[in-house]
Amino acid sequence: MSTKAKLNHPAFKPLRTAAIGYPETIEDFPWGHPAYKVAGKKAFLFMSAYEESALSVSMKLPHRAEEALKLKYAKPTEYGLGRSGWVTFTFPAKAKPPIEKLIDYLDESWRAVAPKKLSAAHPPPKSKRAKA
């Protein structure tokens, strides 16, 4: 009998859609929660619900983890993964996550684990960079 909360936070669907839009990406459920893997092997995104209508998102950010950790609801991923650039965002039910920023980070995460040839063949999406 599962006691896990369902993923019904409004941010789940756009993040899932963005993740499965990357080449050679599959959706897997290794611990009953969705994990998105590139080339069928390496995960670049984990999502789960820790309570009803809440959302936890973890992704690998080797270049911008420090930047991401300054955002509200962000912390280094547990189990030592934070040392490798993994960041977990934990959004309460009524939180409004910065979807565009998370999707931008998602691209970095996918590229961090994708095979080099695959990443090079898929150009990064055009993003709206903030002016310095």
The enclosing domain of 29 has a CATH number of: 3.90.1150.30
Answer for the pair 61, 103: CB distance below 8 angstroms, yes or no: no
The percentage of residues in the chain with a pLDDT greater than 90, rounded to a whole number, is 63
In a domain, 96, yes or no: yes
In a domain, 5, yes or no: no
In a domain, 3, yes or no: no
pTM for the structure as a whole: 0.85
In a domain, 1, yes or no: no
**pLDDT tens-digit map of 63-112:** 999 999 999 999 999 988 889 899 999 998 888 899 999 999 999 999 99
Between 95 and 17, the more confident residue is 17
In a domain, 17, yes or no: yes
The closest alpha carbon to 88, from 61, 127, 51, 54, belongs to 61
**pLDDT higher than 50, residue 1:** no
Of 29-33, 49-53, 66-70, 76-80, where does the model show the most confidence?
66-70
* Whole-number pLDDT of residue 112: 96
Our count of domains for the chain comes to 1
d(CA 34, CA 87): 16
Structure-block tokens of residue 53: 């209508």
Range of the domain at 67: 12-120
**pLDDT higher than 60, residue 52:** yes
Q: Which residues pair with 36 in a beta bridge?
A: 27, 45
Structure-block tokens of residue 50: 């820790």
Structure-block tokens of residue 33: 């929660």
